[in-house]
Amino acid sequence: MLRAAAAAATAGVPIDRPSLERLGACSPVLDGPWPEDARLALVDLLATGPRAIPVLESLDQRGLVHRVLPEWEPNRSRPQRNAYHRFTVDRHLCEAAANAAALTTEVSRPDLLLVGTWLHDLGKGYPGDHTEVGMELMAEVAPRMGFADDDVATLVDMVRHHLLLPDVATRRDLADDDVIEGVAAAVGSLDTLELLAALTEADSLATGPSAWGTWKAGLVAELVERVAHVLRGGAVAEVTAAGFPSPEVRRLLAEGTRVVSGEGNVLTVVAPDRPGLFSRVAGTLALKAVAVRGADAVSADGMAASRFVIEPGPGGCDWDDVATSVGLALDGRLALAARVAQRSSPSRAQPRGTRLLAPPRVRVDNPRRPPPRWWRCGRPIRSVSCTASPRRWPSSTWTSAWPRWPRSAVRWSTPSTSAPQRVTRSPTGPTPGSWSEPSSTASSTDRRASLVGRLARRVQGPPAPEAEGASHPS
């Protein structure tokens, strides 16, 4: 089955339905150690990149992936818990493996990269932390596929640390010696580091467009470069000292002159140290709608230097305008607080092209309500029997799918005795001693008169007994 799938993906053609049915009838269940040909066929299939996705999906729809990998079943069509993801768990794994196929030239073990990327989130279909569960599953699946013990340990480490590089790169200070040494100690080897770097890129690209960009890619590349330097035996101070402040900034601090310069995606400001210096520069960048991705600050001998790493827009950044505004803010000639408050005000006019031409409308089109049905024990019934006392609404032995009918729509008969009477409503029409709907041909005047009479009898009660010999007006 895996050889046929690899051949179809290599040729870029789908597997037709008769072939899938034959594979489903003839393919055995690999519940024990895999033959070497099966593992190599799986690696060849994943190495085809995006062409492997429709082939894997066709096999999965027939339940054939479950035959070679039973641990795959809980992840089928499973939704993600994170809003960043655009695919279900199974499709995300296939997309990540397809992205990893384009990065096989950057690692020394492409087979470990492809298999580790395809199975790095396998634990999401099981209860508990998906990383810990995924490590346990990988420790069982990898030996069954025929990988050596060292390769199994590497695959388990890929699952254990598949979030390490992006988390540290975006949340920790890369100029901190302890951070670099901690990542190097966790990774352990250059081979694992390069596998994790490729896995991070492939996984982020498969997650969604907001999970990977030039800023994040640059941070991860910087972290990998510094950790690799430590793993090669270099001193951590050699890579962290190359950060901020640079020798050029140290020279400017020693000269004691104010400098505001922007180049590429970095703004450097050197000025006499005073309270609010850093906030004034940050507020100016916010006023210019410049997205800041990182910032550093240092002070020495009454001087302060700050560096802001920005993400330029499609048209780049006008550093001359930004430098002029920063100079005005440092001199106190820019009403920074008022300008920023005005910019963030909700009543601020929207730019052209974003205003709504017409107020939004919401229309609710409810379907026509069906006629009322009577329910009992959760099932609709055509005829309802209930116990009713004279001139009283029926007891709660029956309910309706719609609100109860108004009293004006029901005609009651008054029994001659005060004992409760068994009455029945049937679709065929009213029976003696029962209640029913008024005829549709009756005029509204008759219905109102009947209703008034019944209400009067209810209020007045039954007539008083007549006394003997009483006279009545003619």
CATH of the domain at 276: 3.30.70.260
Per-residue confidence (pLDDT) for residue 411, from 0 to 100: 43
> pTM for this structure?
0.64
Q: Distance between CA 153 and CA 184 in Å, rounded?
A: 17
- Type of residue numbered 147: F
* Domain end among 326, 343, 360: 343
* Domain end among 237, 262, 293: 237
Q: Distance between CA 261 and CA 42 in Å, rounded?
A: 54
Task: Find the angle CA(218)-CA(224)-CA(230) to the nearest 5 degrees.
Answer: 140
Helix (H) or strand (E) holding 293: strand 291-300
Residues 252 and 229 grouped into a single domain: no
Task: Find the angle CA(60)-CA(202)-CA(165) to the nearest 5 degrees.
Answer: 130
Residues 108 and 215 grouped into a single domain: yes
Strand 266-272, strand 303-311: pairing:
antiparallel
Residues 233 and 285 grouped into a single domain: no
Residues 98 and 231 grouped into a single domain: yes
Query: Counting beta carbons within 10 angstroms of the beta carbon of residue 246, is it exposed (0 to 12), middle (13 to 18) or buried (19 or more)?
Result: middle
Alpha carbons within 13 A on the beta-carbon side of 353 = 0
Q: Distance between CA 99 and CA 406 in Å, rounded?
A: 67
Alpha carbon separation from 43 to 17, 159, 240 (Å, rounded): 24, 18, 39
Instruction: Give me the numbers of helices (H) and strands (E) for the chain, helices first please.
Output: 19, 9
Strand partners, 387: 422
Backbone angles phi, psi at 400, to 5 degrees: -125, 150
Residues 138 and 282 grouped into a single domain: no
Residue 366 covered by a domain: no
Residue 218 covered by a domain: yes
Strand 291-300, strand 379-381: pairing:
unpaired
Distance from the first to the final alpha carbon of the chain: 106
Per-residue confidence (pLDDT) for residue 271, from 0 to 100: 92
Residue 306 covered by a domain: yes
CATH code for the domain in which residue 74 is found: 1.10.3210
Residue 463 covered by a domain: no
Domain that holds residue 421: 384-395+408-434
Residue 144 covered by a domain: yes
Per-residue confidence (pLDDT) for residue 257, from 0 to 100: 85
pLDDT of the chain along its 474 residues, tens only? Answer: 899 999 999 999 999 999 999 998 888 888 789 999 999 999 999 999 999 999 999 999 988 998 999 999 999 988 888 888 889 999 999 999 999 999 999 999 999 999 999 999 999 999 999 999 999 999 999 999 999 999 999 999 999 999 999 999 999 888 888 999 999 999 999 999 999 999 999 999 999 888 888 889 999 999 999 999 999 999 888 888 767 788 888 888 888 889 898 888 889 999 999 888 898 998 888 888 888 888 888 888 889 999 998 887 777 788 888 888 888 888 888 887 887 777 766 544 455 555 556 677 777 766 655 555 544 444 544 444 444 444 444 444 444 444 444 444 444 444 444 444 444 444 444 444 444 444 444 455 666 666 666 666 665 555 555 544 444 444
Per-residue confidence (pLDDT) for residue 192, from 0 to 100: 96
Give yes or no for a contact between 234 and 240, defined as CB atoms under 8 angstroms apart.
no
Per-residue confidence (pLDDT) for residue 96, from 0 to 100: 95
Q: Distance between CA 40 and CA 46 in Å, rounded?
A: 10
Residues 284 and 265 grouped into a single domain: yes
Give yes or no for a contact between 287 and 326, defined as CB atoms under 8 angstroms apart.
no
Residue 471 covered by a domain: no
Residues 171 and 280 grouped into a single domain: no
Residues 251 and 107 grouped into a single domain: no
Token code pair at residue 273: 């140290």
Residue 140 covered by a domain: yes
Per-residue confidence (pLDDT) for residue 365, from 0 to 100: 66
86: region left, alpha or beta (phi > 0 left; psi from -120 to 50 alpha): alpha
Residue 16 covered by a domain: no
Token code pair at residue 373: 């049905």
* Domain end among 237, 272, 287: 237
Strand 303-311, strand 379-381: pairing:
unpaired
Residues 231 and 85 grouped into a single domain: yes
Per-residue confidence (pLDDT) for residue 289, from 0 to 100: 83
Residues 188 and 314 grouped into a single domain: no
- Type of residue numbered 259: V
Strand 291-300, strand 384-388: pairing:
unpaired
- The dihedral sign for the CA sequence 364, 367, 373, 378: negative
Residues 191 and 280 grouped into a single domain: no
Give yes or no for a contact between 402 and 370, defined as CB atoms under 8 angstroms apart.
no
Residues 208 and 91 grouped into a single domain: yes
Domains of the chain: total: 3
